[in-house]
Structure 1
């Protein structure tokens, strides 16, 4: 009994040391908390194969273009993007399925902050790429521009999309969903209201990719993904859900021409 208790004590004492994340090269005071809150479990390593790209000059703190690319890393099962010093840190989670672990989008920032892309591989290890985004403040607490338009509710959920063939063999798919993406932090006290999830499938219903979104995504979120699309496929189906239970279903048509579509119900 005493030997078993000693073994349990040793496990308790050594467990946290194994789980301690590596030292952050950007020196963020929130790094350890981000690992615990966003990544939650699994070994964490910094890896140059995970690329996170942000502009050197930010012109609009509510519309900051970001690209997270883990295509150089084999076996990625999940790709998470977060910003350490944002009031709401978690930006999005991509479950690529058969799609490439790549996502381009725009986000809000409240101040200068490290921005991370963390790619989890099948062995449970998180491979993290980091960059410091130098920006002025106010993006997360600014009210949505659409609220200034009386007709904003009539275009809510409308989707514009386009598909291109890519030399990688994937189809580069870009779509925009009209939505205010309210953070709940604006001075006008508008409550949080945002798109929570987007699912892309073939017209036959085969899953292509799933995207979880959070409040820091920019208004009218515009997203680029790399999805597999067989030569005979003529379209991609898209289904979204927001935090008020609203659902948006549309279809982005191929072959490789602009398509502007409205929800089917």
Structure 2
């Protein structure tokens, strides 16, 4: 069994959330600093990471939308437990932001959003808050509570049931913060200490509700290094000068570059 990652604390807001749906001033400033860093290191992967059908509960179906595995449906027939799924790739870079578009079937015990390591389980034969039940996950429930190591605290107001919602997730591995957004509203820092986690972290979602649909939308991360930035500049130039995605490989093949460099550029569309 893999050792547990270091403790990441849960930011308790039991008192403040009764009067306000936002974090305190310090939390907001931390989030704004992270967002500003993302803007300065702007990168938008046209495909980005996708959902991994092979790393999910059997009660999750990945939907292929335009050739991209960005949509998932939980418990497509009926639900008798909790199902989850992780992304196809671990999060890279110091700053990551992504959005999950949730359909109107927001109800039941728990819909959850956050990150996990590969050791976190993705299925339970019971209705529970699975993401964050142990040290391998950090999750926000639609009921407004955040979970890690089996502990929970009230973080924001519960989501309105049977109403579509967009949940944003911001991972700042420099400060070690994990924050959430609801319909564009900054909810503040939910967890700290993630800069101490050595394991790869993967975007993860879970649901206990039948026929819940979620689709990953915007995915953004900061550059890893100058080589990564240069690769993205080349890929962006190629994308803006071709008529269809299936010609990307053809365009890269025509570049006067060694084969390994061509493969490195093509990874932009595969991650």
Same-fold call, TM cutoff 0.5 = no
Larger fraction in helix: 2
- Which gives a bigger RCO, structure 1 or 2 (Cα 8 Å, sep 6+)? 2
Q: Which has the higher strand share?
A: 1
TM-score (norm 2): 0.26
Structure of greater Rg: 1
